[in-house]
Chains A and B, each alone.
Chain A
């Protein structure tokens, strides 16, 4: 049976793609950002996930104003990096997992989530930057990827509660797939940032860290944060954090933290990154740092 073995949360700042592609990741500005992903790159190399369900938002690349799906799932064979205005990133094409993706799509629709099914699209920095942060610069990405796009651009985006429930339904779908697959769910975007208007540059470190705290353990308080609070407290683009709640919902009742990283600034934003284990007494392989070792970091 397929099983969800870990959840990863990460910002997906486009500048990090530029830094990675141009070899600037060791520069003094970028080193503290990339250093927070060193642990994860080594861990991912050991974990060898078969499939990543990558929750992200399209930034007016695959979807323009003609079509605005609230939740869309990529069921295609392959996705190319999008040209976002400065030419496509020179990173590998993304290989899909159509069998699992279609299975999840069908299961979600039966669970009353009205998914949009995408067979052909390009994927932008929202999806490719997290792959670079977690896997570095391989010739091919080391796993299959199922893109799951959430509208967080045109209001209203889905509520945090709905995103959490979608994650719960994804977990159910994955666990009913007969093939033995190691599946991770990644929630990307965030943390606090505002890219527009006179209030641009807003950063709320205290709020961000409370949000990170809330993803660890068994509390489900984060699912009840209203959109207005994200807007007021974390800036207009902080709403992307609802996508982390899809990942969290997919982890089940309890989670254990393996790795945590937070840094300000990265371009206009705060960088947040978290690696979680579902910790529901299911006998999953619990490799990775122990809590005591993390506390000593």
Chain B
């Protein structure tokens, strides 16, 4: 065996990773309509309709008010919390003409320039980023303050 076989233990462990939303079944269910909306943007005609009037386009999708407002605001962390998945949300930021790196940087609290500099410098170090519990024991929790 390669890990816990108890599904409750398996899922609970994901809550201990700083600054990370693992795309579990619970999130997949919560974000179903949101992610399927994003998927619709794979068609050029839908991208054109969305760009012409975002609110009008979103009426066709059974989203919550929170999901709709977070989409309009391009608040990607909020969208992840509301069940969005980055590969689906990528259809939104590609429609906006943004690169993966540009969109991803908006989730980090850093400017794109600072984010890019961090990546060129070797990326975000895993030190202090592995476990919320371990960080709590050490008295530091940098990402959870975001």
- Judged by a CB distance under 8 angstroms, whether B100 is at the interface is yes
Taking the closest CB of chain A, its distance from the CB of B89, in whole angstroms, is 8
Indicate which residue in A87, A160, A196, A235 contacts B107 across the interface (CB closer than 8 Å): A196
- CA A161 to CA B41, docked complex, whole Å: 36
Q: Residue-by-residue, is A239-282 near B (CB-CB < 8 Å gives 1, otherwise 0)?
A: 00000000000000000000000001101101000000000000
Please indicate the chain B residues that have their CB under 8 angstroms from the CB of A65 in the complex: 28, 32, 35-36, 39, 88
Q: Give min CB distance, A19 to chain B, whole Å.
A: 11
Q: Is the interface of A mostly helix, strand, loop or mixed?
A: loop
B87 within 8 A of A: yes
Given contacts A84-B91, A265-B120, A268-B101, contact A228 B43 (CB under 8 A): no
Cβ–Cβ contact B35 & A86, under 8 A: no
Convert B118-146 into 0s and 1s, putting 1 for each residue whose CB lies closer than 8 angstroms to a CB of A.
Answer: 11101111100111000000000001001
Contact of A195 with B36 at beta-carbon distance under 8 Å, contacts A153-B87, A224-B2, A236-B20 already known: no
**Chain A residues within CB distance 8 Å of chain B:** 14-15, 59-61, 64-66, 82-87, 153-156, 159-161, 192, 194-205, 207, 223-228, 231-233, 235-236, 264-265, 267-268, 270
Range of interface residues on chain B? 35 or more
Q: What's the Cα separation between A59 and B77 when bound, in Å?
A: 19
Task: Say whether B3 contacts A227, CB under 8 Å.
Answer: yes
Residues of the B chain whose Cβ atoms lie less than 8 Å from the Cβ of A155: 11, 14, 22-25
> At the interface, yes or no: B67 with Cβ under 8 Å from chain A?
no
What are the interface flags for B49-73 relative to A under an 8 Å C-beta threshold, 1 for contact and 0 otherwise?
0000000000000000000000000
| Minimum CB–CB distance for B17 against chain A, Å | 6
In angstroms, Cα B89 to Cα A58, docked, is 14
**Are the C-beta atoms of B91 and A268 separated by less than 8 Å?**
no
**Do A85 and B124 form a contact, CB below 8 Å, given A155-B22, A232-B131?**
no
Question: What distance in Å separates the Cβ of B32 from its nearest Cβ neighbour in chain A?
Answer: 6
Q: Which residue of B lies closest to A83 (CB)?
A: B42
Query: What is the minimal beta-carbon distance from B39 to any residue of chain A, in angstroms?
Result: 4
Contact (Cβ within 8 A) A270 B123 = yes
A65 to B27, CA, bound (A): 12
CB–CB A85/B115 < 8 A: no
Residues of B within 8 Å of A225, CB to CB, are 2
Instruction: Using CB atoms, name the residue of chain A closest to B118.
Output: A201
CB <8 Å contact, B119 and A228: no
Q: B104's contact among A82, A153, A228, A268, by CB below 8 Å, is which?
A: A268
